[in-house]
Structure 1
Amino acid sequence: MYATKRLGAGDLAEMKELLQMFGDAFEDSESYHVHVPDDAYLRERLADGGFFAVIASDNGAIIGGLAAYELKKFEQRRSEVYIYDLAVDAGHRRKGVATALIRSLGESAREQGAYIMFVQADSGEDDAPARALYAKLASEHIVAHHYDIEP
């Protein structure tokens, strides 16, 4: 049986393992393996209450995880939480791990005053299972367009 945990400042080794898992799951070594930030930066992120790194582990091995960010609103005293990355090891998919990760994040988000969490999903066929999961958990489905704009 697996357990979920929000990582904190003392969980550097697990954060590095999560980065490795993300790189493997997303087939993106460049982002997650090659350009890994130094330990001080990772500790800073883990100590930041507006950053969420949640893992699912089974017998000490990370089998899934997510990274999310709190967006503090200006129009009301509340926040939203954006799920940036979510991945589950191929051998553990379709077993409730992603749902458990999102629910665990929800607990932490509520404790910090978030009123909603949101996630984007790609439209490709490979992402159909992720979209089905998000649709199952969603209170609302909004179709939007995403544009990357260089600073």
Structure 2
Amino acid sequence: MIVAHRLAAGDLAGFRAMNALFSEVFGEPENYTAHPPDDAYAHGWLANRNNIAILAQADGEPVGALAGYVLPKFEQARSELYIYDLAVLESHRRIGAATAMIGEMRRIAREVGAWTVFVQADIIPEDEPARALYRKLSHSEITALHFDIEP
């Protein structure tokens, strides 16, 4: 059975497991595990209620992770929740891990009074399963372009 839960403020082990899982699933150790944040940074990140870390576990072992953010808006007194990264180990796909993590994100959205949860997905063939899941769970789909601008 898959269980998804939000990491608590002091859950350094869960924070490290989340980054390790992203590193493995995305094949990007340079972004997730090569230069990990120190414990003080991780504690501060977890303590910030606008940062969301969710782990999916099967038999007590991490099999999925979701990182997201509460985005307080300026145009109205409301917030949005943004799913920044979501990954599930290949061995545990298509058994409800991603759906459970999105369910936990939706619960958090209701808790904080957010008006929506949104996620972006790459338009590449290997991401079609993710897009299919998002289509199933969403009430609308907007096509947008993403631009990275150097600081």
* Alignment correspondent of 2:5: 5
Number of matched pairs: 151
Shift of 1:3: 1.1
Aligned-residue offset at 1:35: 1.4
Is 2:69 the counterpart of 1:69?
yes
Root-mean-square deviation over aligned CA pairs? 0.8
| Pairwise CA distance, 1:49 | 0.5
Question: How many Å separate the matches in 1 of 2:138 and 2:6?
Answer: 22
CA drift at 1:140: 0.7
Match of 2:143 in 1: 143
Query: Which residue does 1:47 correspond to in 2?
Result: 47
How far did residue 92 of structure 1 move? Answer: 0.5
One-letter amino acid of the structure 2 residue matched with residue 21 of structure 1:
L
Could you tell me which residue of structure 2 aligns to residue 29 of structure 1?
A: 29
How far apart, CA to CA, are the structure 2 residues paired with 1:110 and 1:52?
14
How does the TM-score come out when normalised to structure 2? 0.97
Residues 114-138 of structure 1 deviation map (CA, whole Å, 9 limit, x = unaligned)? 1101111011111010000001111
User: Structure 1-normalised TM-score?
Assistant: 0.97
Paired letter, 2:57 = S
Aligned amino acid, residue 143 of structure 1:
T
Inter-partner Cα distance in structure 2 for 1:4 and 1:123: 27
Q: Is the 8 A contact 2:2 2:100 kept in 1?
A: no
Deviation, 1:109, is: 1.5
Displacement of 1:150: 1.4
Q: Which runs of 4+ in 1 moved over 2 A?
A: none
1:93 aligned partner: 93
Deviations 1:64-120 (A, max 9, x none): 110001110011111001100000111100111101100111101211111101111
SS at match of 2:33: helix
Alignment partner of 1:34: what SS? coil
Report SS of the residue matched to 2:147: coil
Distance 2:147 2:10 in 1: 35
User: How far apart, CA to CA, are the structure 2 residues paired with 1:12 and 1:78?
Assistant: 30
SS of the equivalent of 1:82 reads strand
Q: Which residue of 2 aligns with 1:111?
A: 111
Are 2:2 and 2:96, in contact at CA under 8 Å, matched by a contact in 1?
Answer: no
Deviation, structure 1 residue 56 = 0.8
Gapped runs of 5+ residues in structure 1? none
Q: Which runs of 5+ in 2 are unaligned?
A: none
